[in-house]
Structure 1
Amino acid sequence: MDKKNALRAGALAAGTTLMMLLMSSPALALTRDDGDDPGPGLSVIETLGLYVVAPLVLFGVITGLVMVLDKSHRAKDTTSSNIDTRADAKA
């Protein structure tokens, strides 16, 4: 029974994807609309800087701020993870 359901789900997903691809028409993107005034294109360096480097820098800044401004210190932790519970071995 599981094989039948998997096959049915796969066919449904494939059919839905095919219909979405057929309904979208990227060829119409070449036709200019009235009032369409695109700006100048980006170079490869500008594109990489905008979509790769800038998010990585932003991620690094946020990570650094979280690490620097973190108020939870292990020395101030009063839970049992900070207490030495081993018994002293006296001979």
Structure 2
Amino acid sequence: MDKKNALRAGALTAGTTLMMLLMTSPALALTRDDGDDPGPGLSVGETLGLFVVAPLVIFAVITGLVMVLDKSRKQDHGHA
């Protein structure tokens, strides 16, 4: 794995972590807002699917796209 791919993977991981932290911050609030009406809680399966399986699938899709695009770009340079 070369430095460019390592940097790209690190930046992607840091960005994803930051986005998840920003999105989860309202869930940590203990005080209720006016008109707040929380729905029923998620089951264990739904929670795992939402916060474990879904990010892994998204990560795999992004990784696959990056690898395919990276390979096609390298082949173009080789033939030119």
TM-score interval, normalised by the smaller of the two chains: 0.3 to 0.5
User: Which has the larger displacement, 1-10 or 58-67?
Assistant: 1-10
Judged with a 3 Å threshold, the aligned counterparts in structure 2 of structure 1 residues 39 and 69 are, in CA distance, closer, same or farther, namely same
Post-superposition shift, 1:36? 2.3
Partner of 1:81: none
Give the CA deviation at 1:7. 35
Shifted more, 22-31 versus 2-11: the winner is 2-11
In the alignment, the residues of structure 2 paired with residue 11 and residue 68 of structure 1 have an alpha-carbon distance, to the nearest angstrom, of 19
Can you give the 5+ residue segments of structure 2 that lack an aligned partner in the other structure?
73-79
1:68, distance to aligned residue in structure 2 (A): 1.0
Number of matched pairs: 73
Distance 1:25 1:13 in 2: 18
Structure 1 residue runs without a partner (length 5+): 73-90
2: CA distance, partners of 1:8 / 1:61:
15
Q: What root-mean-square deviation, in Å, do the aligned CA atoms of Structure 1 and Structure 2 show?
A: 13.0
List per-residue Cα deviations over 1:39-66 (Å, max 9, x = no partner). 1110000000000000000000000011
* Percent of residue pairs identical: 92
SS at structure 2 position matched to 1:24: helix
TM-score (norm 1): 0.41
Q: Which has a greater percent of helix?
A: 2
When Rg is computed on C-alpha atoms for both structures, the one with the higher figure is 1
Give the number of the structure with larger relative contact order, counting CA–CA contacts within 8 Å between residues 6 or more apart: 1
